[in-house]
Structure 1
């Protein structure tokens, strides 16, 4: 029997579906994140090159940086779906994703600053990776600020969607700054990025933690979109019935 996915474009249908998915993703997030961090901290070498113990912040730093870029693409995808099909849930998902993406970007910058202070003796340098990541944070903030500055929900959704699409150009720039073939040419303090050269135990911990972060992002985005749905649909009869049941 075919599933009519289009019915979930209605807030009244998507709300209970999101509620059912939250516990699943939350369980996966807890198991994978704790498992990845345990493996990374206790099953990996004590020393990596000249990084010593403080290199282990990589499990949080890299995972949050990957999520920051990935969630921006996801946010734009939802915004584009909203523009094409004029679906309210798409705009709501984009808005919920923006908050989580901004938090992940801030975490990556924060952990990167601590790593930089210990490794290079500086909290901040206008390194291409740092600078582009900071621009990404401003794009998330700009998206949310523009959305909240326009009272008409439909206009704010469309305007912020266009801004998100324009800002998408920063993602390949960030990717290139991470995968620059010659860090010296890119004026980067970061070493060349290559998963192939990472020790296998470290790579396992990093990838499992990243999956845990991914599941966490799914969890909080779905929880946040449920709150957005209730706020925007507060005038509808189905929300009134839901409140009566509670």
Structure 2
């Protein structure tokens, strides 16, 4: 399959007109179902009691924080190597969404950590590396917008994103590489999930919902940016 053809803005807009509403409806349906099953129907944990319900927001937001950055890094590599403008725009569109997921992960983690560890925050390897990920998102947005030449800003931002990809495996494997307070991975692991199926199904719905929401909002942001560029190009070519 020739992936280069998807870099054509007109072709992307045709695809996005189908994908965007579909992703939006999937997000609404799965998030509503996941919220009902997770927050109301699923059983409390035998150790953490009702506090465990924070998991249904915390885990999907952590998953999307990492996946968003990986997607940005892939797009940044495509932009630097093949100089596809749509790849640059994807990185720009995804950055604030990924930052939002990362911030949500840190906030919900603090609410979960207070009754579990007795503290809102500890300089644990998992928490610290996730905070670094948030700084990478914010750093990209600040760097990409710091240049008068938009192309130079995108190029500098892409280099930062690719440099920062080293933090993703650190976040993922920090609980295995170091002795941390954060519990080991119980869902996305090679041996399969270790949590009860009554909790796994709602969590799966929330992960699908968060992923669909990411696709929906990034597509909307990309469509908006492409339309803005089209309008600017017409205005610049209009005689005074």
TM over 0.5: yes
The correspondence of residues 1-246 of structure 1 with structure 2, limited to 5 A, is 6-46=4-44, 48-178=45-175, 180=176, 186-195=178-187, 196-237=193-234
Cα distance, 1:191 vs. partner? 2.1
Structure-1 residue corresponding to 2:190: none
More moved, 29-38 vs 231-240: 231-240
Q: Which runs of 4+ in 1 moved over 6 A?
A: none
**Residue 66 to residue 150, structure 1, CA distance change in 2 (3 Å):** same
**SS of corresponding position for 2:59:** helix
Cα distance, 1:197 vs. partner? 2.0
Cα distance, 1:4 vs. partner? 7.1
How far apart, in 2, do the equivalents of 1:239 and 1:15 lie? 22
**Residue 21 to residue 131, structure 1, CA distance change in 2 (3 Å):** same
Cα distance, 1:189 vs. partner? 1.7
How far apart, in 1, do the equivalents of 2:42 and 2:108 lie? 20
Structure 2 residue ranges without an equivalent (≥5): 188-192
Answer yes or no: is the 8 Å Cα contact 1:109–1:134 preserved in 2: yes
Counting matched residue pairs gives: 232
Cα distance, 1:5 vs. partner? 5.6
Structure 1 residue ranges without an equivalent (≥5): 241-246
* CA deviation map 1:139-159 (0-9, x unaligned): 000011000001111111111
More moved, 4-13 vs 164-173: 4-13
More moved, 186-195 vs 102-111: 186-195
More moved, 93-102 vs 224-233: 224-233
Cα distance, 1:110 vs. partner? 0.6
How far apart, in 2, do the equivalents of 1:68 and 1:239 lie? 38
* CA deviation map 1:10-41 (0-9, x unaligned): 32332343233211000000111111121112
Answer yes or no: is the 8 Å Cα contact 1:230–1:239 preserved in 2: no
More moved, 32-41 vs 228-237: 228-237
Cα distance, 1:238 vs. partner? 11
**Residue 239 to residue 42, structure 1, CA distance change in 2 (3 Å):** farther
